[in-house]
Chain A
Amino acid sequence: MVDTTKNTKLFTSYGVTTSKAINPDMAAKMISKAKRPLLVVGTGVLRPEILDRAVKIAKKANLPIAATGSSLHGFLDKDVNAKYINVHQLGFYLTDPAWPGLDGKGNYDTIIVLEFKKYYINQVLSGTKNFSKVKSISIGKDYVQNATMSFGTISREEHFVALDELIDLL
């Protein structure tokens, strides 16, 4: 298994709390354990190699997708349950237990985030980290400090391998 825990150098946000660095097996376990998971993807997901893997993750783990930024285009013909929402808005709504969610069935307990600029998702997750009980798992190629758990900073090639391993383990 590719070691996705090795580089956890901080970049944008600072403070005393940092994300737990995890490998794909732990990510798969946490996703499987979640009662109301949501896959949250940024616009970077439109890279074909990543889009293909994101669709596989969603299908295999039966995850609804919050397609943020301008990423929804990538999912319209992929037979997955994807809906657009702005990620800043999503981050706020996740802190409200009364939010009906994207499907009207209630708020989420776990979000899995993929393919954002790390400074942006770090900021959004700093809100959910401090003001909600929602768990966040970053499976992008950059270490995201404000997630509950995150892959470390890895190369794009290592990232592809890590996502493939995650898909196998789901």
Chain B
Amino acid sequence: MSKLTTGSFSIEDLESVQITINNVIGAAKEAADEKAKDLGPLGPTTWPGLATYRDDWNFKLLARYEPVITPMCDQCCYCTYGPCDLSNNKRGACGIDMLGHNGREFFLRVITGTACHAAHGRHLLDHLIEVFGEDLPLKLGQSDVLTPNITITTGQRPMTLGEIKPAMEYTEEQLTQLLATVHAGQEAAEIDYDSKALFSGSLDHVGMEISDIVQIAALDFPKADPEAPLIEMGVGTIDKEKPFLCVIGHNVGGVTYMMDYMEEHDLTNKMELGGLCCTAIDLTRYKEADRRAPYTKVIGSMSQELKIIRTGLPDVIVVDEQCVRGDIVPEAQKLGIPVIASNAKIMYGLPNRDAQDVDATIEELKSGAIPGAVILDYDKLGEIAVRLTQVMHPIREAAGFRKIASDEQMKEWVDKCADCGSCYLVCPEELEIPEAMKHAKKGDYSYLEDLHDQCIGCRRCEQVCKKEIPILSVIEKAAQKIIAEEKGLIRAGRGQVSDAEIRAEGLNLVMGTTPGIIAIIGCPNYGDGAKSVYYIAEEFLKRNFIVVGTGCGAMDMGMYKDENGQTLYERFPGGFQSGGLVNIGSCVSNAHITGAAQKVAGIFGGRTMGGNLAEIADYVLNRVGACGLAWGAFSQKAASIGTGCNIYGIPAVLGPHSSKYRRALIAKNYDDEKWKVYDARNGEEMNIPPAPEFLLITAETWQEAIPMMAKACIRPSDNSMGRSIKLTHWMELHEKYIGGMPDDWWKFIRTEADLPLAKRADLMKKLEGEYGWEIDWKRKKIISGPKIKFDVSAQPTNLKRLCKGA
């Protein structure tokens, strides 16, 4: 490979000719590798490819956590050989079977999510380098380990925007390789698709990490700040008297130009800027490192998009990328709202007005000549979006677009219902709309009002209604009082967990005295309403778990208040500490959640991080009690985020809708052969309890999810105090939400000290009476019975190569 690096040089013999080399393929990576040699020892897997993690780690994980396939469809409709009937695991015309095809289908979801984050990272990286230059330092807060995911994957430790480029290029290269395996006639084995999905998940956290660290560094976001400002959220916080600019999506790049324009023209108090989904969270982070007064607002999650448009409040909508509905233009058009597409990934068929004069574009949009426009030039975007909002506000006010439906209109809609039941049949949430309409006909709108919290705003009901009733609008009209009072608080995303916080909490987490980390992430497609996320968070916070959140899950936690009118973000501290509620940021900030677990292994556990995924993940799986919750894991990005957590040994509980991912990773808790690891001190096999018993699973209700997550925080290496604390929480939560004692509690007992303190004597009696264990009652000690032995010095590992003498 060439030894040339990036830069420029002149050939003197050729007069007046200059050759500029902006990039030599591979040179940046080579230069970065040279630099990494000075940064300490590296593990065996820098710059991994499709097969690198397969045998040494992924297959070990998949041997215990077996892929559980639940197809969405019996057929494969992928190629022109088919469609093929694959039911009962038959093979199609190309030779692939049902398992392989569904492995491919899940894998496709994962690489789609990975591509979204990586492409977002590329977009921001290029844009921010263009604006701030390659030498902008990565100041992310108090941390020596700035980029755990990049470092583990590539061995690199970038310190500037420019030094991120090799990791970005590498991620893109591997994504191309991964995508190629989806082609017909390529990979066919389900287990290999699962291994590739895990690899893609690890890349996803690299892409997310890049996306978030570049915006934190360049856009002055809070930097590992436990006291990041509290931000108003909810549609009820929008001042209806002011022009309202509504942004939707997940790419803060363009929005910063709108904010700059507003600030330069003294407009921050004269109009509302708020948004839905992750752009909304990230705009609340912009320039917040120095704690200026927050003025932007988070409206809500993707499930609120149509609902907000239907309120008529937005005067202009700007969309960027990811998690944006496909029908925003026609819906907005009905209410005279111009739509601006600001990212080449979503252009909606709208005309591009980059080359046109700003005033002419504003006039064109104001007149309604076009329903919207593509504007990719951020300078123009910032000015047009803000000025157009002010222009549109009085026009739309005068035209009556900002008024909600009248009571007479509501009655007319309700009376049209023929009670055919089609809406119930197609509703993804199986809401009892016909029942609510029956009551509404009698004048009781409370049943319709109750549907608001569970409704995800998809409007499938409207699509099948033969009477053309705007059912979504009917529900929202019925819930107008609740909606007007939807006012919560969310902490602006703070970014990564600092090294100091890891050092302070690492021992508690590894020993189990802090019972676990509960990561509430994911999108709004809950099985039982948005408030469920609040209930789950509150339960764990009251029990001194560390609760971290991102994206829409973090928003929904902030939407509800206790009897004193306080949100969770006001009641609990924002630090990574026992009983802390940590809003990490938008969904690309999820990389800092895996990053926190990785830092426990690297900083606290002293493990080599660079190029050492298997060892870091092995440490997390055996020692760090963390469990994710993606309660409404709607999107492909959620699939890739969760799978990235899984490869790092972090289990996740998903909501019932996520069964449609087609795949879970569940261990056989009854098969003792699955529950053995090596003791790294001598290479001997040691028995461990069935913990965690899944890496990816769904729960039916939030009540079921809570004890599942508490149980999933149990780890083989807990000390006795930690095991006792974790068992106390799990057993209490099982009693509260499931009922009675869990059947398998005894499998986690190694010694009497593991038993929950308050119930120790009773439980010892059960061990003796029901399980035949021998108890010395004088000394109150277990004499025999446990299949697993307690040894405080044991070093559980799944990697034989880490054992002494191996």
Question: A and B, one complex?
Answer: yes
Chain A, 116-134, contact with B by CB distance < 8 Å: what is the 0/1 string?
1111100110110111000
Chain B residues contacting A14 (CB-CB under 8 Å) are 72-75
Chain B residues contacting A93 (CB-CB under 8 Å) are 668, 670
Chain A residues contacting B425 (CB-CB under 8 Å) are 9, 11, 153
Chain A residues contacting B666 (CB-CB under 8 Å) are 88-89, 92
**Does A69 belong to the interface (CB within 8 Å)?**
yes
Complex Cα spacing A92 to B428, Å: 24
B:741-765 near A, CB below 8 Å = 742-743
Q: Select the stretch in A29-37, A56-64, A79-87 that faces chain B.
A: A79-87
Chain A residues contacting B704 (CB-CB under 8 Å) are 43, 68-70, 86
**Does B649 belong to the interface (CB within 8 Å)?**
no
Chain B residues contacting A13 (CB-CB under 8 Å) are 71-73
**Does A96 belong to the interface (CB within 8 Å)?**
yes
Chain B residues contacting A142 (CB-CB under 8 Å) are 430
Given contacts A43-B701, A119-B428, contact A92 B664 (CB under 8 A): yes
Given contacts A43-B700, A70-B700, A73-B739, contact A92 B87 (CB under 8 A): no
Whose C-beta in chain A lies nearest to the C-beta of B422?
A9
Chain B, 246-284, contact with A by CB distance < 8 Å: what is the 0/1 string?
000000000000000000000000000000000000000
Determine if A16 and B74 form an interchain contact, defined as CB atoms under 8 angstroms apart. Answer: yes
Chain B, 59-88, contact with A by CB distance < 8 Å: what is the 0/1 string?
000000010111111110000000001111
Determine if B68 and A88 form an interchain contact, defined as CB atoms under 8 angstroms apart. Answer: yes
Determine if B708 and A119 form an interchain contact, defined as CB atoms under 8 angstroms apart. Answer: no
Complex Cα spacing A14 to B697, Å: 22
Whose C-beta in chain B lies nearest to the C-beta of A155?
B421
Name the distance in Å between A128's Cβ and chain B's nearest Cβ: 9
Complex Cα spacing A73 to B664, Å: 26
Contacting residue for B72 out of A69, A86, A89, A126, CB 8 A: A126
Chain A residues contacting B66 (CB-CB under 8 Å) are 92
**Does B738 belong to the interface (CB within 8 Å)?**
yes
Complex Cα spacing A87 to B68, Å: 12
Determine if B668 and A86 form an interchain contact, defined as CB atoms under 8 angstroms apart. Answer: no
Name the distance in Å between B177's Cβ and chain A's nearest Cβ: 30
Chain B, 674-707, contact with A by CB distance < 8 Å: what is the 0/1 string?
0000000000000000000110011111011000
Chain A, 31-68, contact with B by CB distance < 8 Å: what is the 0/1 string?
00000000000110000000000000000000000001
Determine if A11 and B72 form an interchain contact, defined as CB atoms under 8 angstroms apart. Answer: no
Residue of B70, B527, B657, B737 with most partner-chain A CB within 10 A: B70
**Does B659 belong to the interface (CB within 8 Å)?**
yes
Name the distance in Å between A69's Cβ and chain B's nearest Cβ: 3
Contacting residue for A72 out of B72, B428, B527, B738, CB 8 A: B738
Complex Cα spacing A17 to B88, Å: 10
Complex Cα spacing A84 to B741, Å: 10
**Does A91 belong to the interface (CB within 8 Å)?**
yes
Given contacts A16-B87, A96-B668, A120-B656, contact A69 B700 (CB under 8 A): yes
**Does B740 belong to the interface (CB within 8 Å)?**
yes
Name the distance in Å between B663's Cβ and chain A's nearest Cβ: 10
B:423-461 near A, CB below 8 Å = 425-426, 428, 430
**Does B89 belong to the interface (CB within 8 Å)?**
yes
Determine if A127 and B657 form an interchain contact, defined as CB atoms under 8 angstroms apart. Answer: no
**Does B660 belong to the interface (CB within 8 Å)?**
yes
Contacting residue for A17 out of B69, B87, B430, B657, CB 8 A: B87
Determine if B701 and A15 form an interchain contact, defined as CB atoms under 8 angstroms apart. Answer: no
**Does B235 belong to the interface (CB within 8 Å)?**
no
Determine if B701 and A124 form an interchain contact, defined as CB atoms under 8 angstroms apart. Answer: no
Chain A residues contacting B694 (CB-CB under 8 Å) are 89
Chain B residues contacting A87 (CB-CB under 8 Å) are 700
Complex Cα spacing A93 to B66, Å: 11
Complex Cα spacing A6 to B397, Å: 51
Determine if B69 and A127 form an interchain contact, defined as CB atoms under 8 angstroms apart. Answer: yes
**Does B510 belong to the interface (CB within 8 Å)?**
no
Complex Cα spacing A130 to B190, Å: 15
Contacting residue for A117 out of B71, B73, B99, B656, CB 8 A: B656
**Does B138 belong to the interface (CB within 8 Å)?**
no
Determine if A117 and B430 form an interchain contact, defined as CB atoms under 8 angstroms apart. Answer: yes
Complex Cα spacing A91 to B693, Å: 15
Chain A residues contacting B73 (CB-CB under 8 Å) are 13-15
Chain B, 643-668, contact with A by CB distance < 8 Å: what is the 0/1 string?
00000000000001101100010101
Determine if A69 and B699 form an interchain contact, defined as CB atoms under 8 angstroms apart. Answer: yes
Interface residues, chain A, CB within 8 Å of chain B?
9, 11-17, 42-43, 68-70, 72-73, 76, 83-84, 86-89, 91-93, 96, 98-100, 116-120, 123-124, 126-127, 129-131, 142, 153
13 further interface pairs, Cβ-Cβ under 8 Å (given A117-B430, A131-B98, A142-B430): A11-B425, A16-B87, A69-B704, A70-B700, A86-B708, A93-B668, A96-B668, A98-B671, A119-B656, A119-B659, A120-B656, A120-B659, A127-B70
